[in-house]
Structure 1
């Protein structure tokens, strides 16, 4: 019985409505950033997760496929579902969506994604503290929440219109 409770406590909880919002917005960040220059024949999104969140990650992928059945701007969307242990599978992605994990996994993932010049986005805004580049600020309005320090350090450029409608994250401001 204790083992089952421990497993349940390790799993993160994700709100379906919030996942729906992310699924509608996440692919657009590729088109609204310099990551669009990395597109060859398809948009590639890596979804990083722990084993316990695999079902949620696959549901998130399904939501994006439902929202973008024909892709974006004539580019189909290809997904790479990967555990943190196999992050090398994400090497060709333009965007990595990061689900919650152990803080060491998050730190290592951010380092890897930065080395590969992959845009990073997280479900939890607190991961901006670890160098994730984008999340969502959910209040009375839903706004992109952008870690400009992480964006500029990785030489990723964002469209001006995206910057104008975003909340800019300042280190440890939450």
Structure 2
């Protein structure tokens, strides 16, 4: 088991390094992309950390559906953080309202720990994350009352819909995984 984990970590490190080569090469051809050393370190940490989390959780899973569900949930969380850091989901990345999206991730982490990553409980956790995702732009509009253009509102609704779809998709996969687990008992 330790040997397999070591191989998984090595594969993750190589995949992370390969993915980080993409912006590094792009920086050689365009001035539009300018990453600092900190950007590379943060991106590497996010990519490697997400992959390692998947490996550690999925290794305990008994079904492919569960592994797919956890993969989708982790990919959505990575995409949420990455998008929020890069451009922001509410206005620019500097808008303090974007910090509210941390609540979505907090609901997910606390919920997953509370249900001990059991498929049935994870279904409810992912539905709660979808609801939290919807509430963030609503709360931010009520608290900060930012000047929102029609295009900005459309972008926010579109991105919120995308993330809600990812969370709900993962929830439905967890629900399916729970029925598989129940049928195998």
TMscore range, shorter length = under 0.3
Name the TM-score, length of structure 1 as normaliser.
0.25
Higher strand share: 1
Higher helix share: 2
Name the TM-score, length of structure 2 as normaliser.
0.24
Specify which structure has the bigger relative contact order, considering alpha-carbon pairs within 8 angstroms and separated by 6 or more residues: 2
Structure (1 or 2) with the larger CA radius of gyration: 2
